[in-house]
Amino acid sequence: MVVCLACLSTAPAFAHHSFAAYDRTTSRTITGTVKEYEWANPHVRLVLVVTEQGGASRDWSFESGSTSHMASVGFSRITAGEGETISVTYHPRRSGPGGGYFIAIEKPNGRTYGPILAR
């Protein structure tokens, strides 16, 4: 009984780390201005303001790995700063536009962070 309870209590943790929401067979790149870069667990988050066709601006939301995973491939809490223009390579969401799972960032000076392998 104790073993069953222990197994059941870990199910939400496994579900939380699913990548099913993202199309990992496709990657795209988009350029925009950093609105928010949150270096926190369980996932690093990024909000990018993107100017779309027609000139309208829209927020695109991305997430990525944990801070330890990101640090292992060169990211840090200062990789992206508010107001900075960057290019983001990402796996798009399966449903709905405007974001996904980011796997790399390129700065205007050509410095690239990533790629991040989803695990």
- Render each residue's pLDDT in the chain as its tens digit; 119 residues: 444 444 444 434 434 456 788 988 999 999 999 999 999 999 999 999 999 889 999 999 999 999 999 999 999 999 999 999 999 999 999 887 789 999 999 999 999 998 877 55
Q: Are 76 and 67 in contact (CB under 8 A)?
A: no
pLDDT of amino acid 17: 55
Distance, CA of 46 to CA of 112 (rounded, Å) = 16
| All domains of the chain in start order, with CATH | 18-113 (2.40.50.140)
| pTM, entire model | 0.80
Please give the DSSP secondary-structure letter assigned to residue 36. E
CA angle 34, 59, 110 (to 5 degrees): 35
